[in-house]
Amino acid sequence: MTSFDAARLSDALVTSALGVFSLALVVFALAAALSRSRPVPVAAVSGAAVVLSSPGGDAGLRPAPHRGLEQVGRAGAAVLVLGTILLCLAVVARGVAAGRAPWGNMYEFGLTGSAAVAVAFLAYGRGRPTGVLAPWTVTLVLVLLGVSVTSLYTPVDDLVPVLNSRWLVVHVAAAITAGALFTVGALATIAHLVRQRGGGDEDDHFSDLAHTVHLVAFPVWTFAVIAGAVWAENAWGRYWGWDPKETWAFITWVFYAAHLHALSTVGWRRRAGWLALAGFLAFVFNFFGVNLWIPGLHSYAGV
């Protein structure tokens, strides 16, 4: 397969994934409507299957669901898995077309990041009552993928010299992995805060999921920052220079470090979630805001 054919295949797979994720969103919306119309448990994604949890959040209570709701939930999960597979294949095809790691510009980062978010949700949602998060995860993937296709798209091209390094694979792969986990953690944190505001328990399955995800994401992000510093020394002769990208990467690190510390500090546990959301917003701004609006040494990785 030529690079041109691989590039066209990647674009076609992305378009197909957009359609499939859109269908998944419709199916999950139908499941939500069915769950509200009858006093039955809400469907939850577990890999390609469905786990049921009570509306109160007790994962140990799994009464028999309405058969139609269960079937819709399973269909939504299957469509979500199919969309994720198509998107991962699109990333692989883009890499084949480019002859390198497929994250040399904002479009490729957005494409790979969308796939990573979907994979992270499926991986961490397995066996957990995360059905309420499924439509929001699909919505975020659709938004990121849509913005990448419509506003950030860049034809396959060679890397600029400063990016032509093995550190591109190490540093950016770590950043994408951490970003996907941060996204799942942010969704779980929002669900936890909403339930807490409604009188729910301080600890529930959403807070447990967010904590588990952040415990993995934080060291991965720490490694990404360190790898970036090593790459900076190799490219520019210094480890740290408070470039806007570096500054916001550090701000993101500080917020998540504060979040994890707050979870183990008496009197701060109820506020810890807000620190995680602040860290996620800093991460998002680092990707979109810094790349698009703030000039710096990393501006070559723009659209």
What are the pLDDT digits (tens) for 126-162? 766 567 899 999 999 999 999 999 999 999 988 888 7
Would you state the pLDDT for residue 52? 35
Higher pLDDT, 41 or 19: 19
Would you state the pLDDT for residue 300? 52
| Average pLDDT, integer, range 36-43 | 52
Are 253 and 174 in contact by the 8 Å Cβ rule? The answer is no
Would you state the pLDDT for residue 131? 72
pLDDT higher than threshold 70 for residue 63:
no
| pLDDT confidence band for 59 (50 / 70 / 90) | very low
Report phi then psi at 170, rounded to 5: -70, -55
Inter-CA distances, 282 with 111, 179, 182, 185, 255, Å: 20, 11, 11, 14, 8
Would you state the pLDDT for residue 163? 82
**Structural domain includes residue 88:** no
Would you state the pLDDT for residue 301? 52
Residues β-bridged to residue 195: none
Would you state the pLDDT for residue 246? 94
Higher pLDDT, 68 or 211: 211
The pLDDT tens digits of the residues spanning 191-203 come to: 999 988 877 666 7
> What 3-state class would DSSP assign to 77?
helix
The pLDDT tens digits of the residues spanning 169-189 come to: 999 999 999 999 999 999 999
| Average pLDDT, integer, range 42-56 | 43
Q: How many CB atoms lie within 10 A of CB 125?
A: 24
Determine the Cα–Cα distance for residues 227 and 151; give it in Å rounded to an integer. Answer: 29
The pLDDT tens digits of the residues spanning 186-233 come to: 999 999 999 888 776 667 889 999 999 999 999 999 999 999 999 999
Percent helix / strand / coil, the chain, rounded to 5:
75, 5, 25
pLDDT higher than threshold 50 for residue 55:
no
**Structural domain includes residue 224:** yes
Higher pLDDT, 253 or 236: 253
| Average pLDDT, integer, range 263-292 | 91
Determine the Cα–Cα distance for residues 249 and 287; give it in Å rounded to an integer. Answer: 10
Would you state the pLDDT for residue 291? 85
Inter-CA distances, 176 with 20, 276, 280, 287, Å: 23, 17, 13, 11
- Indicate the pTM of the whole model: 0.86
Would you state the pLDDT for residue 61? 40
**Structural domain includes residue 11:** no
Are 253 and 259 in contact by the 8 Å Cβ rule? The answer is no
Number of domains in the chain: 1
**Structural domain includes residue 47:** no
Would you state the pLDDT for residue 66? 56
> What 3-state class would DSSP assign to 303?
coil
Full domain range(s) for residue 168: 159-303
Determine the Cα–Cα distance for residues 117 and 23; give it in Å rounded to an integer. Answer: 18
Token representation of residue 34: 């069915």
**Structural domain includes residue 181:** yes
Token representation of residue 177: 């992995």
Average pLDDT, the chain: 85
Q: What is the DSSP string of 24-61?
A: HHHHHHHHHHHHHHTT-PEEEEETTEEEEE-TT--TT-
| pLDDT confidence band for 67 (50 / 70 / 90) | low
pLDDT higher than threshold 90 for residue 69:
no
Would you state the pLDDT for residue 38? 53
**Structural domain includes residue 36:** no
Would you state the pLDDT for residue 192? 92
Helix and strand tally (H, E) in the chain? 9, 2
Would you state the pLDDT for residue 149? 95
**Structural domain includes residue 205:** yes
**Structural domain includes residue 113:** no
pLDDT higher than threshold 50 for residue 269:
yes
Would you state the pLDDT for residue 228? 94
Determine the Cα–Cα distance for residues 205 and 210; give it in Å rounded to an integer. Answer: 9
